[in-house]
Amino acid sequence: MIKFQSVYGTRAGDIRTSTTSSHTMAKRQGLGPLGCLVGLMVLTAQPGWTAPISLGDFAGTTVVFQNVVADDGVLFGPAVLSGDSLEFEPRLTSASSGGGSQMTLGTLTLGVSAQPGFVIDGISASESGLYSLLGSGTSATDVLAAILLEVTVDEVDGNPIAPVSWNVNASVSFNLLANPGLDDPWSMGVSASVMNGLILNSVPFSFGATHVLITVPNTLSTESESNSSASIGKDTVRISATTSPIAAVPEPGTAGLWILGIGVTAVYRRLRRSQVGLDVR
């Protein structure tokens, strides 16, 4: 099975971290390791895909989600804003039976801009849904869900920079022998530290990233045998941003008055102590 760097997920034993092998889906597509996500990039460019649908901008608590675009509105549905998170209700399902196989793909793209006074610390993506594996067969009857989170920073401290990109990814898979069931839940997620990304890429900054671009490809795949069926679907996709406030730096004039005030207060207290001493005498 193809496995990617997994940050978290459900069903212990079904998610593995930082391992790579082959998956039957990748084999039948003639792809090697990481074939699912490579195949996603190729297939989304083929004819038959609907035109991208713009979902607009969404102003959160400390960030603004800008130019949110789904490659297919049916696959993702409308976006709902909650704080600094966007939640989608995708109609993203892959199903096969009687020896068939199927792959369903979808991609979200958007920008994230920090509100004045904040910088972007991190970006995360999570999703959940249901899967079914029924009938008789072997581990060749299986389902897989994969997600890729690509982050590109193009602005720090409010100033444009040469774009810096990196990605994190994860997958979860189940097979008929180990995980048979009907409408069993699954979930997984990934997160990217924007601050660490700037440091690892030697990007100089005073406060942090103030604008990033995000691409989130999604993959669902199933494969079944002659006497079995497999299906997997997504109910929710959530994109979230975490931020930090920028420490206030006083203007030179303000700082000068502040220092003067401290000096005056110190002199007053010293004179006051001297006056008390004279009164005692």
Q: How many CA atoms lie within 13 A of 125 on its CB side?
A: 24
Exposed / middle / buried, residue 246 (Cβ in 10 Å: 0-12, 13-18, 19+): middle
- The pLDDT, as a whole number, for residue 91 is 73
Q: Delimit the domains of the chain by residue range.
A: 8-249, 253-281
- The pLDDT, as a whole number, for residue 105 is 86
* pLDDT of the chain, 281 residues: tens digit per residue: 333 333 334 433 333 322 222 233 333 344 433 444 434 433 333 334 457 889 999 999 999 999 999 886 556 778 999 999 999 888 778 888 889 999 988 899 999 999 999 999 999 999 999 999 999 999 999 999 999 999 999 999 999 999 999 999 999 999 999 999 999 999 999 999 999 999 999 999 999 999 999 999 989 999 999 999 999 999 899 999 999 999 754 444 544 554 555 555 555 556 555 554 545 45
From residue 132, give the alpha-carbon distance in Å to each of 76, 91, 107, 181, 188. Answer: 21, 16, 24, 5, 17
Q: Yes or no: say if 208 and 157 are a contact pair by the CB < 8 Å rule.
A: yes
Residue 264 CA, chain-centre distance (Å), reads 53
pTM of the model: 0.73
Beta bridge partners of 214: 110, 151
- The pLDDT, as a whole number, for residue 89 is 83
